[in-house]
Amino acid sequence: MMTRSNSRGAIWLEKLAPNAPRINSLCPSVQVADADLNGETVRFISVVPDANNHYPRATQGEVGLLEGWTLAKVVNETIDADANSNVKRPIVAVIDVPSQAYGRREEAFGIHQALAGAVGAYAKARLAGHPVIGLIVGKAMSGAFLAHGYQANRLIAINDKGVLVHAMGKESAARITLRTVDALEKMAATIPPMAYDISNYATLGLLSDLLTINNPDAPSDADLALVEITVQKAISDARKDPTLKNRLGAENRRSSALVRERMRVAW
């Protein structure tokens, strides 16, 4: 059984934020730490397994009700804390999420709203000027990935067979499509959007970097240095991009000008 201590999300959070205190008063499955990276404070967020999770469907690192709302809380509080800062704190989502939590209680209590809250918070952070980086160290599956990391300015992944980006796990997809796992893998090899192979997925152009790490489960100092340099570059690149807020502002100004012109012509 995967435990918090040996999940990739927990391993890489500890590597990137060594000995950094975790933020208190959060659910145990959402770990948050502020650490120095290249001379600035970066907020790292990871969803990790919790064997004692109040919701049994979310014990293995899945993103469920508690996780969705906690991610939203953390990101929104980061935005509020930095509201008066000229330079916004980067947010790095350390991604190892096998699935969203499926269950009757989750559906009844509105898991879609919890995950939407997380999505909205990450998008709001980008609008507010926070560089948001997604670092995929394990699985990035289904609604869990949409809620934790997919909204990033830049996505970085480790090139490893344990890293998967997909809407559904292989076994579930095989059952639904009435195929064997082997048949599904052969089909996916020729269709990048279906690919479980991260190097094949990378051909879609959605990753800014695909990194070769010697041992993702026990990264060396060289592995860590490579990831840190890549994350630093992604943060720098994100800051150079025109923000979505600026683009929306320009579009709104153009729309307003068009409306005024149409009114002038009409009169």
H helix count then E strand count, the chain: 10, 7
Contact 201, 159 (CB under 8 A): no
For the chain (length 267 residues), average pLDDT per consecutive 10? 67 95 93 95 98 95 97 98 96 96 92 96 96 96 93 95 78 74 74 67 80 94 96 96 50 45 42
Q: Give the residue among 174, 186, 206, 100 at the shortest CA–CA distance from 143.
A: 100
What is the structure's pLDDT at 215? 93
Residues 113 and 184: their CA atoms lie apart, in Å, by 32
What is the structure's pLDDT at 74? 98
